[in-house]
Structure 1
Amino acid sequence: MRLLTVPRDANPVAPKLTVSIATTQEEVREVQRLRYKVFIEAFNLSALVNPDGLDIDAFDAYCDHLIVRDNKTLRVVGTYRVMSPHASRRMGSYYSEKEFDLGRLDHLRGRLAEAGRACIHPDYRSGSVIMLLWAGLAAYMRRERCDYLMGCVSVSLADGGHNAAALYHALDQESLSPAEYRVRPHTPFPVHEREAGHVPVMPPLLKGYLRSGAWVCGDPAWDPDFHSADFFLLLPLARLDSRYARHYRTESSPP
C-alpha cells in the first residue's frame, strides 16, 4: 500500500480513513469486490453477475487504483480508477474511447488523466470518502504532470431515461464545454427525444464535477451493460474554483 499525502483538512470528520494507491493484487481484488457490490449487486445487473463476485475488465491491469480504507475495520470503502497518459499509450486507448470519439482532445493526450469506476460503500457516503478520493486524484495528477482530468458519470436509465434527459436539458452554458472540446458518443442516448419538463435529480458525482469546474462535452452515450446514460466530463485544473483548488491542488503533495 502506497499512501498519498493529502491536505490535513481534506478529511476533518473521519481521521480513521486513509487514501492510498493499491500496490498488491489482493488490494486490487478488494477494489473489484467493492465495485461488484455497488455496481452489479445493487443494480441487479444479471448480465454481469459472476461467481467470483468481482467487477473486472481489461483496463484494470493498466490503471492505478486509489483506495480509501477504514483503518479500524481495514475495509476498503471507496475507490477511483485512474489512467495516466503513459498507461493509456501502453493499453492503446482510454476507457472512455469505448463510448466516445475523443478526436478533438488528441492535442491534450500527454497531459490528460482519466478517472472512472468511482465507488463508495453505502455505509460511508457522508462526504468524507469522496473528499479523500478527490484529494488523492489531485496528488496523482501532480505526480503525472497532468493538467486535465476526464471521466464519465453514469446516470441510471431505470426510469426510462427521463432523469438523464432532464439533466442534459438543465445544463447551462457554463457547464457545457466550448465547441473545440466536444466529443461524440459512438452510441448516443437520445436525450432530445425525451421531454424536457422532468425535474432532474443530479447524482452526487456529477454535482461534484460541475462544482469543481468540469465541462460536459456533448450528448451522453448509451451503456447497455450498465443500463445507463454516460456523460463525458473534462476538468481543466485551471477551472477548479477557489475552494477546491485550496483543498485539492495547492496544499496537496505528490505520492
Structure 2
Amino acid sequence: MQHSIVQADVRAASAKLVLSMASTPEELREVQRLRYKVFIETMGLSSLAREDGLDSDEFDEHCDHLIVRDTNTLKVVGTYRLLSPTRARKLGRLYSENEFDLGRLNNLRGRMVEAGRACIHPDYRGGSVIMLLWSGLAEYMRREQCDYLIGCASISLADGGHNAVAVYQALATQHIAPPEYRVTPHLPFPISKLEAAAKAQVPPLLKGYMRSGAWICGEPAWDPDFESADLFLLLPLGNLDNRYARHYGVAGEGA
C-alpha cells in the first residue's frame, strides 16, 4: 500500500486529518505511544505499566499500521493494526489465536485480514477518525484480495463482568455466526456464573461492527491482563449494509 492512502478535509476539534500507513520506526512508536495512553493509562492498568510508555508486542513488526494524523499538531490520533494472510502465514499464527481455537476457520485463512488494536485519542472521537480508518481498511482488503475481516472486540470488566454478560446475551440472539464459523475460547469468560446487567452497554467499536454485518463467533474469552471479556468477530464483506458500504468505500462490491 502506498504511504498516503487518502486525504480528507474533515474536521474534528478544528483538525485536518490525514490517513496513511506507518512506514518508519518512529511512526510505529507514535502508534505504540497512542495505544499506551488509551489502553494502559486511561484504563488504569497499572499491572501493564512500562517505563518506555509504549504498548508493543511481537506482532507489531509483522503488521501494517493505519494511522490518522492531525496535520495541525502533527500528532497521531487514531490507529488500526492489520495482519495480512501472507504475513500471518510467515508468522505462523494470528493474534486472536492467543485467545481462541480458530480451527473451523482454516479454510478461510488465505482470505482473512486480522484487525486489532483499534485506538482513537479521546479528543477525536466524533466519528471522522473511525470513518477514515475504515476507508483505509476497505482499501487494504481490496489490495490484499481478502473478503473476510476478523478480530477481537473487548468489553471492560470494570463492573465485575455483568455488562459483558449482558452484551453477549443481547448480541447472541441476533448476531451469532453460523455453526461452521464458531470458535472456542482457550480461557472462557464465566458468563453462566454471573448475573447480567439490567441493560447492555455495547462498546462503540463493537456496536459499529454489528451494524456493519459482523457475527460473533461464540462465547467470550477472558483476558486477565487487559481486564476484559473478548468476543471473536467475523465480518464477511458481503454482509456490509449498503449504508456502511458507501461510507467504507466498498459499495457495489461483493464478498
TM bin, normalised by shorter chain, reads over 0.9
Name the CA distance, whole Å, in 2 between partners of 1:66 and 1:93. 21
Aligned position for 1:75: 75
Matched, 1:39 2:30: no
Aligned position for 1:121: 121
Matches within 5 A, 1:191-210: 191-196=191-196, 198-210=198-210
Identity of aligned residues (%): 65
Name the CA distance, whole Å, in 1 between partners of 2:39 and 2:153. 13
Letter in 2 for 1:202: V
Letter in 2 for 1:5: V
Aligned position for 2:139: 139
Which segments of structure 1 move beyond 2 Å, counting only runs of 4 or more?
11-15, 249-252
The alignment partner of 1:175 has SS state of: coil
Matches within 5 A, 1:81-92: 81-92=81-92
Aligned position for 1:154: 154
User: Deviation digits for residues 192-235 of structure 1, max 9, x if unmatched?
Assistant: 22223521111000000000000010000000110100011000
Aligned position for 1:212: 212
Kept after mapping to 2: 8 A contact 1:5/1:139: no
Letter in 2 for 1:2: H
Name the CA distance, whole Å, in 1 between partners of 2:11 and 2:59. 33
Name the CA distance, whole Å, in 1 between partners of 2:100 and 2:50. 27
Aligned position for 1:4: 5
The alignment partner of 2:6 has SS state of: coil
TM-score, normalization: structure 1?
A: 0.94
Q: Measured at CA, do residues 133 and 240 of structure 1 come closer, stay the same or move farther in structure 2, by a change above 3 Å?
A: same
TM-score, normalization: structure 2?
A: 0.94
Post-superposition offset of 1:159: 0.6
Q: Measured at CA, do residues 58 and 172 of structure 1 come closer, stay the same or move farther in structure 2, by a change above 3 Å?
A: closer
The alignment partner of 2:196 has SS state of: coil
Q: Give the superposed CA RMSD.
A: 1.7
Aligned position for 2:28: 28
Matched, 1:180 2:160: no
Aligned position for 2:166: 166
Post-superposition offset of 1:5: 3.4
Post-superposition offset of 1:172: 4.7
Post-superposition offset of 1:247: 2.2
Q: Measured at CA, do residues 224 and 199 of structure 1 come closer, stay the same or move farther in structure 2, by a change above 3 Å?
A: same
Kept after mapping to 1: 8 A contact 2:35/2:119: yes
Letter in 1 for 2:6: T
Name the CA distance, whole Å, in 2 between partners of 1:109 and 1:233. 14
Post-superposition offset of 1:126: 0.6
Post-superposition offset of 1:173: 3.9
Post-superposition offset of 1:248: 1.6
Aligned position for 1:94: 94
Name the CA distance, whole Å, in 2 between partners of 1:236 and 1:85. 15
40-49 or 25-34: which moved more? 40-49
Name the CA distance, whole Å, in 2 between partners of 1:108 and 1:39. 30
Post-superposition offset of 1:109: 0.2
User: Deviation digits for residues 6-45 of structure 1, max 9, x if unmatched?
Assistant: 7x6xx75457101111000000000000000000011121
User: Deviation digits for residues 86-126 of structure 1, max 9, x if unmatched?
Assistant: 11011110000000000000000000000000000010011
The alignment partner of 1:142 has SS state of: helix
The alignment partner of 2:249 has SS state of: helix
Name the CA distance, whole Å, in 2 between partners of 1:224 and 1:146. 32
Q: Higher RCO, 1 or 2 (CA under 8 Å, sep at least 6)? A: 1
